[in-house]
Amino acid sequence: MVPTSDHLPPVVLPSALDGRHGSNRARGGVRQIAADTDIDAVRLWLAEYANSPHTLRSYRKEAGRLLIWATRVLGKPLSSLTREDLLAYEVFLANPSGEWADPTLPRRGGARRLFEGPLSPRSARQAMGILSGLFRYLVAAGYLAGNPLALRRRRGESKAGRRASVERYLNHELWQSVLDFIETLPRVTHREQQHYERIRWLFRLLYGASLRVSEAAHAKASDLSQRRSKWWLHVVGKGGAEGDVPMADELMADLARYRQFHGLPAITAALETTPLVMSVAGRTNRFLTPTAIYLIVKEVFRRAAAALDAVDPSAAATLRRASTHWLRHTSATHQADAGNDIRFIQKNLRHASIETTAIYLHAEDDLRHERTTNR
């Protein structure tokens, strides 16, 4: 039975566009999936990411956009798209005008707008990378004969993408300004105090443990353990990869403060299932969703940016772009600046390759700039 929990956009397609007779459908051979329409095949692909909510949302969005564009603009099913069609789609992503990005349309529902505006070059590359993964899956499943994105030119993209990711962090001064702003949050009422304590702890957890948003959302008290008098947080991350993250004494003190505010013991128990980040009222049986954590962080960044507008417009603009993942990048960058061994940073971030971790090494660039400009 085809999974239906993916919440793809509600598209009702005529038989000519449902993909049963797509020109790129595989003919003969052994099929690995029973789906016989494009939507059912895409749902199976999405089902592979059911345990990664953040990834699922991103992949679902891109697959839904392409399905609707292909059938509405080209009058083609997804399983008939050619390389030329996908080139046209990349051009469209740079300028999704008219009804596609109409701000008067709702964000949800069948008649919703699918874009907030033109995609940046980096976002467009990410979208096409996701779709290439979809096509690879459908080819491997014996559903499609070939991947129309297999010919896509990638030269130079990895460097551009890497450069963009390197810049998604806060320098030491801007990070401190965010912490200082959090201390200005209102705490007159008990509800305001609850909001303040959660925000204070959440930002320190994401930064101090270098967590992805989904990792923070799923973390619980029993994931903490002590070895040789040192605290560690066990994390199940991207792709199910497991790792242990060091928890500094200062960070554990922040956790103790947060828990005691909600009437919990400062030290966690071995079998305790209390979320590390609770609902604002401190409910111990309710985990926040990654989306909820993302929105909390974005709102703090937005308000901190507004406070900086008058004195540092450039820093304010940076904060408006920042998100939860920036805190992970900020943590890694600050570890590298402090001289932490790159192998340790790799383990802290659970990177498969040390080359991925190396993008956070900025100290050499700083020294080169200083020596060059201060001759």
Total tally of structural domains belonging to the chain: 2
- Domain for residue 261, yes or no? yes
Non-local (6+) Cβ contacts of 223 within 8 A are: 233, 234, 235, 276
DSSP for 19-43, please give it. STT-TTB--SS--S----SHHHHHH
Do 324 and 232 belong to one domain? Answer: yes
Q: Is the predicted pLDDT of residue 330 greater than 60, yes or no?
A: yes
Tally Cβ neighbours within 10 Å of residue 293. Answer: 21
154 has which bridge partners?
A: none
Residues 188-233 have pLDDT tens digits of 999 999 999 999 999 999 999 999 999 999 999 999 999 999 999 9
pTM value is 0.59
Q: Is the predicted pLDDT of residue 155 greater than 60, yes or no?
A: no
Q: Quote the strand ranges of the chain, DSSP E.
A: 224-227, 230-236, 242-247
The overall average pLDDT reported for the chain is: 85
Do 135 and 257 belong to one domain? Answer: no
Do 302 and 214 belong to one domain? Answer: yes
Do 133 and 221 belong to one domain? Answer: no
For residues 21 and 34, the answer to whether their CB atoms sit within 8 Å is no
CATH code: domain of residue 35: 1.10.150.130
Do 258 and 111 belong to one domain? Answer: no
Do 221 and 369 belong to one domain? Answer: yes
* Domain of residue 47, residue span: 15-154
Do 280 and 351 belong to one domain? Answer: yes
Q: Which residues of 129-167 are buried (b: 16+ CB within 10 A; e: fewer)?
A: ebbbebbebbbebebbbebbbeebeeeeeeeebeeeebe
Q: Is the predicted pLDDT of residue 305 greater than 90, yes or no?
A: yes
Residue 186 has a pLDDT of 96
End position of a domain, from candidates 154, 185, 204: 154
Q: Is the predicted pLDDT of residue 354 greater than 50, yes or no?
A: yes
- Domain for residue 311, yes or no? yes
Q: Is the predicted pLDDT of residue 45 greater than 70, yes or no?
A: yes
